[in-house]
Each structure stands twice: as C-alpha cells, then as structure tokens.
A and B are shown apart, each in its own frame.
Chain A
Amino acid sequence: GAGVSQTPSNKVTEKGKYVELRCDPISGHTALYWYRQSLGQGPEFLIYFQGTGAADDSGLPNDRFFAVRPEGSVSTLKIQRTERGDSAVYLCASSHQAGGSTDTQYFGPGTRLTVL
C-alpha cells in the first residue's frame, strides 16, 4: 500500500518567512511523528500525535515551531519567522498506535527546507 508521503519535497524560503510542511500518514495509522535531520546527523524527534492531539511536543526547539493534526490524519508542521538554522530535512513517520506492541514507525521521504 501507499507509504507516508510528504509535500513539498523541497522548499526554499527566505529568512523571516512562514512555511508549512505537510505529511500524509499511512492509512489507518493513528500515531504520527515529526523529526528533523540536520546535515550529517541522525534524525531528532520534534513532536508526536496520537489521533488529533499532540501527546509529546518536547522536541520542538522553540515557539516558532507548531504542528497540527485537526482530523487525526494529515499533519502540518508550521514554522514562523524562519531562520537559517532551521534549514534541515523534516521527516514524518506514522505507526498503528503509539506505544503498542506493533508500534513500528514508518518514515516518509522528508521535506528538505532551505532558509536563505
């Protein structure tokens, strides 16, 4: 079946602008995760949703970052007043149910964000 999809695949923006990154999870998966990967490093956790609610947002670096999942499916990561340090690949993953015994996270291809 279809995997996790993310749009856009690439986003170039200017410092100070607002961006939205979209994630479509695997159908039927109730848990959704956002990670950020800087060049040469492993992914770092940002936030995860169980259904519509953000169950853990401890990885969001500051209040410029916000994520929503209003209907429990598609999620949008929103970054306000972008800075050059926000440049990274933003990865989304989904799983059947957070914390369950079959809770394997499956990743999308990522969105490469470049802030000029």
Chain B
Amino acid sequence: DAKTTQPPSMDCAEGRAANLPCNHSTISGNEYVYWYRQIHSQGPQYIIHGLKNNETNEMASLIITEDRKSSTLILPHATLRDTAVYYCIVRGFGAAGNKLTFGGGTRVLVKP
C-alpha cells in the first residue's frame, strides 16, 4: 500500500470547518483513500473513503485531487467531540488491501 504523510497535529475552532490534508504521492490506480479517526481510549472509527471522485457523507467530505496524489478531509462544523487522531490510509482491494496500514495520523484539537 502507498505511504501517506499527514501533519502531526492541528488546532481547530469549534463551529469552524476543519481541513485535514494527506499526501499519498505514490498511490496507484486501484488504491482507495480511507479516513478513520480515533477518539481517546476508543477503537478507530470509520469516516469515509473514496477512489477518485469527491465523496460526502453525514460525517465529512473527502476531496481528492485530480492526480490523486493528495486529499483533504473536511469536517464542516467541528465540535469538541471531533477532537481525535485522524488517520489517512491508502489501500487496495483484494488480498493486498486487507491489512490497514496506519501511520502516525493527525492529532486534531477542537477548541471552544
């Protein structure tokens, strides 16, 4: 699976949008971008995933650049409960994609 690079930490103001970047310059054509988050002392929580089109669900939006070398997770109106470590993961499907490879993630602190 391709390696991802994320900033180690970022702060966000409550009620504002949080934009979390991820670089995955070695991504290949059949690899998906997945985002999980981990709130303190809990298991990772699935947020969203995409291949090349932008995706939106009730939690977040995922914007993938046209060359697919980077993406941005957008939390539209951050709340204090969004404070967590956010992981960007690149994975293929089939046998190669069954193991999720977590990097260091971005520690997001939402401040009042």
Contact = CB atoms under 8 A, between A and B. Distances in A.
Interface of A: 4, 31, 33, 35, 41-45, 48, 55-56, 58-59, 91, 93, 98-101, 103-110
B34, B98, B103 — which one has the most chain A CB atoms within 10 A of its CB? B98
B6 to A, nearest CB: 11
Given A42-B103, A45-B99, A48-B99, A100 B93 contact: yes
Interface of B: 34, 36, 42-46, 49, 85, 87, 93-95, 97-105
A109 B42 contact: yes
Contacts of A98: 95, 98
Contacts of A56: 95, 98-99
9 contacts: A33-B100, A48-B98, A48-B99, A56-B98, A58-B99, A99-B94, A100-B93, A104-B49, A109-B42
A2 B34 CA distance: 23
A45 B101 contact: yes
Given A43-B44, A104-B49, A99 B102 contact: no
